[in-house]
Structures are given as structure tokens and as C-alpha cells.
């Protein structure tokens, strides 16, 4: 499985949803980085299940254990290995998945690729639970970026057809960053939050699910980071973001909307503001030619509705090769969006750190 990524820092992720533990090995971390473990715990808690009636009732603390590469509060230079033990599993909920292929899941494609030997319980290595070690690694990357003044913030832009106010692409107030970082359900327009939550509860009551959009910004990014073509910032971020289960679309700046603009509308004019080079708009999302231009890097991720739903669906019996019906058992999120925010931020942090270190070798 392609569970290894990175150039300057290499990340190797492992584990299955109902296995003994999940984990990650991080090789190449700079020596002597002081890690704030409380910050990492806070990030893990943002993603952890069982936190409210809006998410899966599966209770997992997502407590991490660092096995190597960390000593007396600092990185040692050795590969840093951390695990997160699975504790609250109900594998019997997945017995019927030996033959019934769930719509929207990787049951069929995974079975074909791994010849039926893959662990199907809780989706195994395909599960969104595998994002827990990703958030751990992202929390470390965030701390390194923060030491360079780079911040990452996100919010729920939409749930189903209910939309929040979008970021002002060119201007970010510090007060907004602090506000979003403090909210359990981060939205810019707090008056819309309850409508979003109710849409999730309604889907849950109907044994259904809904999706949404996450908008994320990388702030204080210096100009000149990234490489054209294969290692552009867009390429690097998209590679990681599409690795997150449930992400089905990524767009930067105005994204697809930019295609309906004229050149004079789409271009971002340069200006000297308080002695610094800026652009007066940010339709291109802080990236030109695959390289940062000093403006906020802003992107959106489309998150599909959770594939596991309680409604009866058409599927196939892969063993007996016949059509059948399936009602998915188990504990599942009616909407993954609230828990995916720290995952999106983690992927962004990992990607941006790699680009930053590559450009500053």
C-alpha cells in the first residue's frame, strides 16, 4: 500500500480501523524541535469520534503514544514513531461485509486489488479512522510552521445546501483567525451554525447522511515557495488532500468560478502596501506558476456524504455473484465535515512544510 509520502520529511502511515493500533513513522524531522504535546492532544480531540450528537457515537480518546524519536520534550533526530490504540471496536457489525459490497465504500475495489486479504472491519486501512495519525503528524508540522509565523485556519463553508460566509480571499483579520480557532463548530456567520447542525441531525434521524465544503487558509506564507509543474504548491497540496477519505474536489482561490471571469477580472493586480508587495485581489489563491506570491493560500475541499447509511441499498453478493440488498450496521457519522477540518489542516500543514523546507535547503 502507498502509505509513504514526503521529500524533506517522510511520513509512513499504518494500521486498520479495527486492528490493534494505528500509527505513523516520521523520518527527517529537524533535531531539537520542542513539541507541545498539549497542542497535539487538542488537535487529536478535534478529530476524535464520540464528541457530540453530530458525529459517530464510537468513543475513542485517540490518545497517542510516542515510541521513539522524542526525548526530554524535544525531537532527537531518530525516526519519530507514534501509535494510537483502537479500544472501542465492534467488529461483529461488519460480518456481512465478507460478501456484501457497500455502495460508496472501497469494499469492491479493495477486494479486487488485495485479492480478498484486506481487513474489511470498519473499512480497514481505507477507513477515515486512519486520519488520526495524519492529524498527529499535522500537529507537529503546524508547530514548526508556527515558529516561522505561518498559520493555518479553516471553517465549515457549507453543510448540504446551507452556506456560511466565505473567506475574504485577500484580507484576513487576526480576530477572525482567533475566533475560528476557538469554536467547536467553526463558522464565520455563527447565526447559520444551528441550521447546519439541524441538517446533520435530520439526516441522522432519517438514517441518511449529508456532505459539505471546508474552506482553509494558510496565512503569512512567504513568496517564492514551491516549484513549477510537478511540485507546484497546488500539486503538493492536492496530492495530500485527495488522500483524505471523503474528499472529492479541491479548488484554489476562485477555483471553478474563475473560468467565468474575463482576464481583467481574474488577474490579481500588484501594489505596494505599507512597504510590502501585495495583490489587491486574490482570485488565484496565493499561488501563481505553482509558487506562493505572499498572499494567503486559500482552498476549498468538497466532502462527500458519509457512505455508511442506515437506509437499505442495492448491492451485490460478491461470493455468490448475485444482486442483493444491504442495510449497513455499525456506528457512523451522519456528516463527516465537522471532524474533517483538523484533517484538512493537517494535510495542508504537512504539504506546506515540505514545500517550505525544499525551497529553503
125 is in an annotated binding site: yes
DSSP 304: P
331 is in an annotated binding site: yes
- Which residues have a Cβ under 8 Å from the Cβ of 299 and sit 6 or more positions away? 215, 216, 237, 241, 250, 251, 252, 253, 255, 285, 348
Q: CA-to-CA distance for 285 and 327, rounded, in angstroms?
A: 42
Count how many Cα atoms sit within 13 Å of the Cα of residue 231 in the half-sphere of its side chain. Answer: 14
3-state SS, residue 78: coil
126 is in an annotated binding site: yes
127 is in an annotated binding site: yes
Nearest partner of 192 among 231, 239, 157, 229, judged by Cα: 157
123 is in an annotated binding site: no
Q: CA-to-CA distance for 226 and 235, rounded, in angstroms?
A: 10
Q: What DSSP letter does each residue of 98-148 carry, written as one string?
A: GTBPPTTSSHHHHHHHTTT-S--GGGGGGSGGGHHHHHHHHHHHHHHHHTT
136 is in an annotated binding site: no
C-alpha grid cell for residue 304?
A: 462527500
Residues 112, 58 contacting (CB under 8 angstroms): no
> Residue 89, Cβ neighbours under 10 Å: how many?
16
Q: What phi and psi, each to the nearest 5 degrees, are found at residue 139?
A: -65, -35
308 is in an annotated binding site: yes
Q: CA-to-CA distance for 13 and 16, rounded, in angstroms?
A: 10
17 is in an annotated binding site: no
Q: Which residues are annotated as a binding site for NADP(+)?
A: 47
Q: Which residues are annotated as a binding site for FMN?
A: 125-127, 289, 304-308, 331
Q: Which residues are annotated as a binding site?
A: 47, 125-127, 289, 304-308, 331
Amino acid at each position: 500500500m502507498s502509505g509513504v509520502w514526503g521529500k524533506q520529511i517522510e511520513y509512513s502511515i499504518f494500521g486498520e480501523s479495527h486492528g490493534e493500533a494505528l500509527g505513523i513513522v516520521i523520518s527527517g524531522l529537524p533535531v531539537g524541535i520542542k513539541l507541545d504535546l498539549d497542542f497535539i492532544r487538542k488537535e487529536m480531540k478535534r478529530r476524535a469520534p464520540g464528541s457530540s450528537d453530530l458525529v459517530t457515537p464510537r468513543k475513542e480518546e485517540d490518545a497517542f503514544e510516542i515510541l521513539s524519536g522524542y526525548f526530554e520534550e524535544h525531537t532527537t533526530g531518530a525516526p519519530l514513531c507514534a501509535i494510537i490504540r483502537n479500544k472501542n471496536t465492534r467488529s461483529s457489525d461488519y460480518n456481512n461485509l465478507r460478501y456484501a459490497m457497500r455502495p460508496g465504500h472501497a469494499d469492491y475495489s479493495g477486494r479486487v486489488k488485495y485479492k480478498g486479504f484486506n481487513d474489511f472491519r470498519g473499512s480497514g486501512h481505507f477507513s477515515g479512522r486512519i486520519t488520526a495519525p495524519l492529524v498527529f503528524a499535522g500537529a507537529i508540522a503546524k508547530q514548526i510552521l508556527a515558529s516561522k509565523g505561518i498559520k493555518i485556519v479553516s471553517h465549515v463553508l457549507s453543510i448540504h445546501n446551507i452556506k456560511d460566509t466565505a473567506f475574504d480571499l485577500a484580507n484576513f483579520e487576526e480576530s477572525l483567525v482567533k475566533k475560528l480557532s476557538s469554536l467547536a463548530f467553526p463558522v464565520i456567520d455563527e447565526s447559520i451554525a444551528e441550521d447546519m447542525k439541524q441538517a446533520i441531525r435530520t439526516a441522522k434521524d432519517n438514517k441518511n447522511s449529508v456532505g459539505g465544503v471546508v474552506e482553509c487558509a494558510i496565512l503569512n506564507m512567504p513568496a517564492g515557495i514551491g516549484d513549477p509543474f510537478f511540485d507546484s504548491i497546488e500539486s503538493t497540496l492536492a496530492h495530500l488532500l485527495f488522500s483524505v477519505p471523503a474528499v472529492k474536489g479541491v479548488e484554489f482561490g476562485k477555483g471553478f468560478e474563475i473560468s467565468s471571469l474575463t482576464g481583467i477580472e481574474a488577474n490579481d493586480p500588484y501594489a505596494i502596501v505599507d512597504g510590502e508587495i501585495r495583490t489587491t485581489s486574490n482570485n488565484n489563491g496565493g499561488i501563481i506558476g505553482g509558487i506562493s506570491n505572499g498572499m494567503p493560500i486559500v482552498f476549498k475541499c468538497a466532502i462527500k456524504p458519509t457512505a455508511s447509511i442506515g437506509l437499505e441499498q442495492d448491492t451485490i453478493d460478491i461470493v455468490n455473484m448475485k444482486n442483493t440488498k444491504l442495510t449497513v450496521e455499525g456506528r457512523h457519522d451522519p456528516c463527516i465535515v465537522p471532524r474533517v477540518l483538523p484533517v484538512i489542516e493537517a494535510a495542508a500543514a504537512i504539504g506546506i512544510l515540505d514545500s517550505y523546507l525544499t525551497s529553503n535547503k
